[in-house]
Amino acid sequence: MSKLHFFRPNVGVSLLALLAAALAGESAFAARLLTATVEVDGKLVLQTAYDDNGTEKAATVWRYLAGEPSWAETAKIRPDEADPQRAQLNGNIVIRIQHVDRPIVQATASELELVRIGSPGDRWFLPDAEVERLAAASGIGRPTASSAFGGPMWPWIVGGLAAMVAVLALLALVARPRSRPDATRATD
């Protein structure tokens, strides 16, 4: 009686690795490090970092400014005396977000409010209302509807179906019984 060998150890591990890669979702994309800068009268006063999956459009990237950054380097930003968690900048202000040397989105203003969490931490960022005010003044649109993974769903559906077909094809090849010469056949 022949045995069916559904999984040999190396094939089983390979199939599990293929399935894990197919289901990896967002982590399959390379992360993109974004640098946000604030210049006042041509002088850099704030540089922060955010990251995303590399597929987001300018309007979505702009909204990152309303969240606490991964890190921040600041020149001397003087907090408000009444509320040390806030600061007001005045002058010719340019706020820019870029990836490496490629600008993604930019806005200008004559005044800018910053907030921080925890004093004396210098992880300054923009409050939600300020981000929206500058977006409206600079013509930065609203983010478009997207999937939970940050983009349209059709590539995920097609990729998932292709991965399932590949796994099923491999399983069919592995599960196929091996042919053995029939020992009961009479020989001449």
Please check whether residue 3 lies inside any domain of the structure: no
User: What range does the domain containing 161 cover?
Assistant: 9-27+149-175
Instruction: Give the number of domains in the chain.
Output: 2
Per-residue model confidence (pLDDT) at position 94:
97
pLDDT confidence of 183, banded at 50, 70, 90?
Answer: low
In tens, the pLDDT along 53-87 reads 888 999 999 999 998 888 888 887 889 999 989 99
Check whether residue 98 and residue 125 sit in a common domain. Answer: yes
Whether 106 contacts 96, CB under 8 Å: yes
Check whether residue 52 and residue 20 sit in a common domain. Answer: no
Whether 92 contacts 43, CB under 8 Å: no
Residue 182, CA distances (Å) to 26, 52, 174, 179, 186 in order:
51, 61, 21, 9, 9
Check whether residue 91 and residue 73 sit in a common domain. Answer: yes
